[in-house]
Amino acid sequence: MGGAGVTPGFPFSAVVGQDDVKLALLLNAVDPRIGGVLLRGQKGSAKSTLARGLAALLPGEAPFVDLPVGATEDRVVGTIDIEAALTEGRRRFHPGLLAAADGGVLYVDEVNLLPDHLVDVLLDVAASGVNRVEREGVSEAHPARFVLAGSMNPEEGELRPQLLDRFGLAVDVAANADPAERAEAVRRRLAHDADPAAFAREWADSEAGLRERLAAARPAALPGPLLEAVSRLCAAAGAEGLRADLVICRAAAALAGWDDRGAATASDVRRVAPLALAHRRRRDPFEAPGMDRDQLEDALDEALGDPPPPPPDGGDAGGSEGSDDSDGTEPRHAAGDRGPAAPDAPTRVIGIHAGRQPTGEAPSGRRSPTLGRRGRLVGDRVPDGPATGVALGATTRAAAARRATAPAPAGGPPGPAGLGPAGLGMVTAEDLREPVREQLAGNLVVLAVDASGSMGVERRMEAVKGAVLSLLLDAYQRRDRVCLVTFRGEDAEVALRPTGSVEVARHRLGELPTGGRTPLAAGIRTALQVATTNSGPHRPLVVLVSDGRATAAPGGADPVAAALDAAAEVRRRGVPALVVDVEDGSPRLGLAPELARRMGARCVSLPELSAGALGHALRGMVGG
């Protein structure tokens, strides 16, 4: 699609494989009320290519809008028209990206990195087809019916379960492992890049067929007994709420309409159920994505009866180009072994907040709202000192009000109607307003762990692995990040960079080297550097797991003195901290409490160190 001089995009029908992705996108095009598609998986697996290709199949010059992760709420939902406010003194709505996507495809890459309040807005509008704006003196509602496609790499952190549940369908995407199909995919991409126009002509008939079929498709009827069977299926699968029931019903009806049938059948439910149920089953990040095939088959058989025989040609119900022999009962690339689990079973750690005062546990999945430079716009204010940003709507309103009421300068010409005299300046310092934004505050928990050859190192490392995964269990519900610094030999290293991803942590924590001397100062300083340079909107918390012994320091310095100086630097930088004293044996030297005093930190003694004990100690770090 597009005018003269525009390079044709890669055709939807020319993408090799990825049948589940194609089907999920097409069904949302037939009925956008399904609620969008979440594409989880590797980069370079044609996610954005298929989303862009779908827009070319929609009627008319359907738009394709790529929403950047850094987009502001104003840019997404729309805001006051600045030019109209300044030049005409009128409050007029300036549409945002949601309006631009009406009738087409709205694609959000790395949707898991988008602020939660914007994800909420996107999902609300995708389900309702209407964008309602009440802000900055503007009351507006406009159509915004589009296919929402969000993609994410799970290694960069998961979506919160509350948001994950609101995506209608989800597909785990991976590059095809079959060498012949990979070669064909590369061959087609090279041919397109060499001559896009010729490649588009080669696939024009296939694209035209899909376009005509999609234009004619309407959701089919859903028989009452089938609706009841869907409810039995969702109850047997343990789906919470009614979203799964609604999505399966709508998707099955859309699939029947896509196949030009008058009513949905049990076969349609069997085809779409895995796409609607798999992501709703994962309430715990330690559960592998997707559903157990046997468990799903048993639930389908119980709710729908015996499966029908396969079609004679082995065709796929989706009917899209490049299909394979997948029967669609589960994601083709189901997650396998995610790496070695921690020896101590992870337990939920509630209320990990950066702060010094223990004030009890925070409710699971909640964060206290805090004001900052990012997040949802909740108001505006006159700056107290240099402005940290500009609230455009409030600033223009203030400027228009001033211009409308200011007296005319002697001999000055009149200004535009309703704006008072000219020559008063478009915007002055007194008009300036800065935005007030609200966001949910998460934490960056930096664990600095002694991995030297001191007594008890194996038990210490086992407990730390379990505690990290326990923290990530909590982070899955929130916006927390966890980092692991280990120190041994002559220096410290960041063994696990700040992450909210269980997948990354499992791989990185599989084997951690131990042994050698104890560079305690290096460990503290490395943890402090990570906490102060990588926290971003997160509140940092340094957790030192050590017996306080130090046997190595840079430049031949005294190891103990260097460690105490590093501990004092933590306090000077104002970073909250916790010292976990793991000293055992006799006689006890009591070095860790002095480190804690220098840090201005709490010190807890854990003679029976385990993931559970360490998690319990961290649980008290709330407030601030």
If we measure between CA atoms, which residue out of 283, 286, 277 comes closest to residue 329? 277
Q: Tokens standing for 208?
A: 């035209």
> Tokens 């738009």 label which residue?
63
Identify the DSSP state of 486: E
Q: Tokens standing for 225?
A: 């007994």
If you write DSSP's letter for every residue of 268-320 in order, what string do you get?
A: HHHHHHHHHHHHHH--STTSPSS--HHHHHHHHHHHH-SPPPPPTT---TT--
Cα separations (Å) of 605 from 360, 379, 441, 468, 520?
19, 46, 29, 18, 18
Identify the DSSP state of 7: P
Residue 269, burial from CB neighbour count under 10 angstroms (0-12, 13-18, 19+): buried
Cα end-to-end distance, the chain, whole Å: 54
Instruction: Assess whether 243 carries a catalytic annotation.
Output: yes
> Tokens 């940003």 label which residue?
389
Q: Pick the catalytic residue: 166, 243, 508, 619?
A: 243
**Distance of alpha carbon 271 from alpha carbon 23, whole angstroms:** 10
CB 133 within 8 A of CB 140: yes
If we measure between CA atoms, which residue out of 406, 439, 398 comes closest to residue 137? 398
Residues 6+ apart with CB under 8 A from 482: 444, 445, 447, 468, 471, 472, 475, 496, 498, 499, 500, 505
For residue 602, the surrounding DSSP H or E stretch is strand 602-605
Which residues make beta-bridge pairs with 486? 449, 493
**Distance of alpha carbon 372 from alpha carbon 374, whole angstroms:** 6
DSSP 3-state assignment of 436? strand
**Distance of alpha carbon 507 from alpha carbon 496, whole angstroms:** 10
Identify the DSSP state of 553: -
**Distance of alpha carbon 278 from alpha carbon 173, whole angstroms:** 13
Catalytic residues: 243
